[in-house]
Chain A
């Protein structure tokens, strides 16, 4: 598991991530493992634990400033 914490762009459909752009490269989301949310103070954040083929990505959406962050990656 590698911590990243970098800003990324994410395309959603029906509140599910479809693809992510990170460092000028597109990653197609192939599976959503878990979507959970919690409050950081009064800000609701959504965490999407997803797969892009054999790459695991943990994406964080801040519902206050509407930004996406790539938190972690993991590859077998």
Chain B
């Protein structure tokens, strides 16, 4: 199969070092300084975003603050400000909507969209870059990738960073592939590259030239065909994925590592609120716990009834918690709900009026939407305003 000969009209846009760059935009005194945005500024705090200058020093996302300070003791550590990131995300989203009817935000800092075929993608990309600099902030840089499918557009956006603009098309794909390592491809990390090497696929060009049957063997079935089509520039990632779970997690700082009850309550409140926002009810709950010694435990339960109220989610999760061997010193607490049905279809119950409960929950949600989450909640729920701060930037609009 030849490389897709269609005009490349898919654009992938990525904000460079998103959180750190936005902080630098807000505070011009931080321009060109090594800045990291971290979950906590304490030594064990995890780094969430690294400025371009800090990246050059070798500091990476996921490092601990103390490790970054070993590399550069004067590194500037900032706490995340999700409201700021959401604002920039929305502003860029609004700009992109002028160019395409269907802009898909892939995350807080990534967008993908298709341009109409008559438009020149390269020219439009330059225009978008200028518009973002003018309307959002002159320090915010973006990398844009153009190609015939979403996957290669993303790969193209990673070719030049920061402030890049690259295209992978029928005339240059061999040149681009010859300069890449297997692990430079999105979705191919050590595990997949080892698998590919086992079948004699050592370079991206080998990957491109590999027949479908071989890739089916490497990836174990249909996934091999998907990869074949991806690297040949054909679209296979445009499907809309079905939501399988809704949940929240929290990594408490050391001084809150034993406050499981409050944390679980607040996570249940957030999860319940999101569940009802999607107009869903769930018949499965899952709890995952990890302590600071590296022990991990998780358990899920399929319920005989559908639940949507925070107090019900809290009750079921607390029931799971009773089985946990980990009771203290938590590193991470994650809860989720699964197996969804539409909330409109309520089952009539003999002893309880579920419609009445739904009306009450809807009223509480409306109050919380108007006055802020956690304004009112069931008295049975242990709610402490200090635990579970707003860390999630994406998906809260």
Contacts and interface: CB of A to CB of B under 8 A. Distances in A.
A47 B26 CA distance: 10
A51 B29 CA distance: 8
Contact of A33 (B25, B78, B86, B372): B25
Contact of B27 (A37, A40, A74): A74
A54 B28 CA distance: 9
A37 B372 contact: no
B370 A41 contact: yes
A49 B26 contact: yes
Interface in A17-76: 31, 33-34, 36-38, 40-42, 47, 49, 51, 54, 56, 58, 74-76
B86 A49 contact: no
A12 interface: no
A41 B87 contact: no
Contacts of A49: 26-27
Contacts of A31: 28
A76 to B, nearest CB: 5
Nearest to B375: A41
Contacts of A33: 25-28, 137
A1 to B, nearest CB: 7
Contacts, number: 43
Q: What does DSSP make chain B's interface, helix, strand, loop or mixed? A: helix
B29 A38 contact: no
Contact of A1 (B78, B88, B371): B78
A56 B26 CA distance: 9
Chain A interface size, as a band, is 10 to 19
Q: What does DSSP make chain A's interface, helix, strand, loop or mixed? A: strand
B22 interface: yes
B84 interface: yes
B375 A56 contact: no
B83 interface: yes
B84 A47 contact: yes
Contacts of B375: 41
A54 B86 CA distance: 27
A58 B375 CA distance: 26
Contacts of B87: 36-38
B26 A34 contact: yes
Interface in B2-36: 22, 25-29
A69 to B, nearest CB: 15
Given A38-B86, A56-B29, 18 more contacts: A1-B78, A31-B28, A33-B27, A33-B137, A34-B22, A34-B26, A36-B84, A36-B87, A38-B87, A41-B371, A42-B370, A42-B371, A49-B26, A51-B28, A51-B29, A58-B26, A74-B27, A75-B29
7 cross-chain pairs, A with B, having the tightest CB-CB distances, nearest first = A49-B26, A36-B87, A41-B371, A41-B372, A34-B26, A38-B83, A33-B26
